[in-house]
Amino acid sequence: MIYKKHIEEISNLVIMCYTGLSVEDIQIQETRKEFEGDWTIVLFPILKLIKKPLDQIGDEIGSYLIKELDYLESFNIVKGFLNLQFADNFWFEGLEFSFLENFEINDQKHENIVIESCSPNTNKPLHLGHLRNILLGHSIANILIADGYHVTRVQIINDRGIHICKSMLAWKKFGNAETPDTSAIKGDHFVGKYYVVFEKKYQEEQQQLIQKGFSIEEAKLKSSLLNEAKEMLRKWESGDSDIINLWKQMNSWVYEGFESTYKKIGVYFDKIYYESDTYLIGKEYVLNGLDSGFCYQKKDNSIWVNLDNYNLEEKLLLRADGTAVYMTQDLGTAIIRKDEISFDKMIYVVGNEQNHHFNVLFSILNKMKFSWSDDLFHLSYGMVNLPDGKMKSREGNVVDIDDLLDSMYVKSKDIILKSNKSNVDIDKLSRLIGDAALKYFILKPDPKKEILFNPEDSIDFNGHTGPFIQYAYARINSLISKSKQIKRVFKVNRSLLDEEKILVKLILNYPSVLHHSATHLNPSFLANYLYSLSKEYNHFYQKIPILSAPNKNDINFRVTISTKVAELISRGMSLLGIDVPLKM
């Protein structure tokens, strides 16, 4: 990164000022907006070792740096902060460097990172909650690759379990042999409909039992529907051919629907795992664990693991009837991934409602003496809520991704039509804007924060939104298309204007922002940087003449800056999974 060598150079010079200082004592940061300067050396850590007044320390260091560095123009000291002002040539050279191939390339890490995201169930379509998961996983993978890592994108499809059997049983009992084709419903939506049907019928049955005098718990135990679903699961695990065929048929409808949605969002996976395969591996390890003493069997034949040493409660691994739980398949999935991919780190992108689950999973793998259990990380993110509360799939209270995307396209198309745009492909542009509005709205907050989804806010062309950034890019592209026979110019024979310098500084910050996003697995750093870059460019565009500047060299210089801003917007948005239009 461009700043790295300069930070090291300044740090080494500061160390030379006083005996006893080390690199750890030197804190260099970007100067705050209320101060005059470019970079700031924090003096307080040095004060602990050098017993002199703060201002004296600052003056001695500043004077020495001025003497040794030709790119340092001046300095000032404010309340323990030594603010360094760089000469314009520093920024001219930086701008020129930003056009070289290695500007955006951070050091090759030679590490293989596996990222698991999405992890859908085959009993319902992908919804808004999945979308945050998918977009986080996809953008973090892109950012890590850009920062020099090798990344494998995977997902586990939860294609077995009692919830799957609920959809299957409801279709078998109430479906009248209809299919996605006969009902003209997308496959995953079709199967999800029967998951809701099961819940509705199940609640009706419970109410009937309660009215007969049974308690709520007794009604649940006596429910014929739920017991039929449990029996179906038992038959599935024992390999009943009729149940297996039904399961394969309904899953095939769902997979076709999933693939259509992934294509619409613009994401992909390098490898897909299925719980119906991995639970068998986990089950085998659990059964072998009885002999090794890793786990134990209770009187009802259920199998558990003791986690007292991890300050956790015991965990069920196999039910009394021999069927597996989620934990069983997660154990199997982790083990087979390590064998197949040999990762250095595996990141699970899963909502914060599963924090305890992953704490238990990592503890069990550690107890199983897998040394690589320390290489597992749960990227916990906040839920996406609707204005009227949390989404509940079994009640049908969800916003499906397909429906959401379609509604965003309609909203963006309405805005375009009202603007009287006649020289654009309205359908294509509405999809680009709708996608950007939705994706940016989800990626700009810190992943740990919960989101209250508001489609109106997400598509505001004047707000902190994806369409705002797209518009900045389209504006620059229009300017560049008008600037014929313009050549790249990296310096001017005058002092830099504040607006020019701010943009150059932002341009040079791109690699460090990218690295920061990768290090913290947080695409919001990149998303907010792109907004700041676009916002500052709009201010520059409105205040400073570009193509109408009287000096030809100024025109070339400002178009050069504009070109680089456009490139970074395009590349940065692409890492977030967002396309930018040439015209808006």
The predicted pLDDT at position 128 comes to 86
pLDDT number for residue 181: 95
Beta bridge partners of 318: 303, 324
pLDDT tens-place string over residues 465-479: 999 999 999 999 999
Architecture, CATH, for domain 2-86: 2-Layer Sandwich (3.30)
Residue by residue, DSSP assigns 511-570 as HHHHHHHHHTT-HHHHHHHHHHHHHHHHHHHHHS-STT-SSHHHHHHHHHHHHHHHHHHH
In this model, does residue 393 exceed pLDDT 50?
Answer: no
CA triplet 487, 493, 494: central angle to 5 degrees? 120
Instruction: Report the residue count for the chain.
Output: 584
Spatial contact of 441 and 136, defined as CB atoms under 8 Å apart: no
Residue 432 CA from chain centroid, whole number: 19
Which has the closest alpha carbon to 135: 445, 416, 426, 424?
445
Domain residue spans of the chain: 2-86, 112-288+323-395, 406-575
* Both structure tokens of 330: 């997660």
The answer to whether residue 541 scores a pLDDT higher than 50 is yes
Query: pTM for the whole thing?
Result: 0.91
Closest C-alpha among 537, 567, 564 to residue 97: 564
Q: Are 348 and 376 in contact (CB under 8 A)?
A: yes
CATH architecture for the domain at 406-575: Orthogonal Bundle (1.10)
Query: What average pLDDT does range 191-202 have in this prediction?
Result: 94
Q: What is the tens place of the pLDDT at every residue in 63-108?
A: 999 999 999 999 999 989 999 999 999 999 999 999 998 887 666 7
Residues 203-242: pLDDT tens digits? Answer: 999 999 999 998 988 888 889 999 999 999 999 989 999 9
Q: What is the pLDDT of residues 502-538, one digit of tens each?
A: 999 999 999 999 999 999 999 999 999 999 999 999 9
CB 497 within 8 A of CB 544: yes
d(CA 295, CA 60): 66
Cα angle 389, 393, 397 (rounded to 5 degrees) comes to 45
Closest CA to 136 of 117, 119, 113: 117
Which stretches of 117-195 are assigned E, i.e. beta strand?
A: 150-157
**How would you classify the pairing of strands 112-116 and 150-157?**
parallel
- Which tens digits make up the pLDDT trace of 317-332? 999 988 889 999 999 9
CA neighbours closer than 13 Å in the CB half-sphere of residue 391: 20
Task: Say which residue the tokens 């990344």 belong to.
Answer: 151
The dihedral built from the CA positions of residue 536, 537, 542 and 547, taken in this order, carries a sign that is positive
Collapse the DSSP code of 78 into the 3-class scheme (helix H, G, I; strand E, B; otherwise coil) and give the result: strand
User: In terms of pLDDT, which residue wins out, 318 or 415?
Assistant: 318
May I ask the CATH class of domain 112-288+323-395?
Answer: alpha beta
Task: Report the distance separating Cα 393 and Cα 157, nearest Å.
Answer: 17
Structure tokens at 32: 């705050």
Question: Which residue blocks in 444-522 are alpha helix, DSSP H?
Answer: 455-458, 466-482, 498-519
SS3 state of residue 400: strand
Q: Is residue 308's pLDDT more than 70? A: yes
